[in-house]
Amino acid sequence: MAMEVRSRFSGFAGFGRIALVALAAAGCGRGGPGQLATSGIAAGRPKSTAPVRPPAPPTPPTVPVVSDAAPVLGDTVAVGNDGGTVAVSAVEANVSAGRLFSAPAGKEYYAVQVKACSGPTEQGLGFSPRFFSLQLTDGTAYDADLGVKKPDLVAGEVPAGGCREGWVTFIVPEKAQGASVIYDGSRRLRWTIPPPHSGKANGPGR
């Protein structure tokens, strides 16, 4: 009797093992839980969120800055300690302003092109035609007059990292020769004007 009970139990256990194997095989054939779990992980994988770097801005052209010891026409000179500069780029003698704005008898207009730039963090830098005077070869000096030559320099503040430029006009005797341009702003600077036809670009006129 005891032998029969063990035999029946053994047969049931064998059936259980067969059923488990069949279920496992059926699960693998239908994309079972193991496959679903793997697919779920793959589908939920986060995409790359690396930031896209914007293109680098173009590098502005470098303007050579010279010592203020003896600048000449065309030179850019450093002023202050925050990266500011002042330049005298060109001159033009005998400027024509038309019949309605002609110079007084025996006089002519003489124009100087100037430019001031402030440093990246520089604040409160002013720039004005009244900062400039013109010295002639005979030693006489003249202050800025009306803005005849266009675009003329308009007095105002130079924004941080920006520039302000234009022409400054003087009234001088006819056929006068400019010798130097003097700047009396934050410091006193003097640009030498080369003689006409010396090879240094100094604009139209003599």
Q: What pTM does this model have?
A: 0.66
Q: Are 73 and 194 in contact (CB under 8 A)?
A: yes
* Residue-level length of the chain: 206
Q: Are 166 and 154 in contact (CB under 8 A)?
A: yes
**Alpha carbon distance, N-terminus to C-terminus of the chain:** 138
Break the chain into its structural domains and give their ranges.
Answer: 2-42, 65-192
pLDDT tens-digit series, residues 140-159: 999 999 899 999 999 999 99
pLDDT tens-digit series, residues 62-75: 556 665 678 999 99
**Two tokens at 47?**
């995409």
CATH of domain 65-192: 2.60.40.1240
Cα dihedral angle (4, 7, 13, 15), rounded to 10 degrees? -100
The top-scoring range by mean pLDDT among 23-27, 34-38, 102-106 is 102-106
Distance CA 60, CA 120 (A): 13
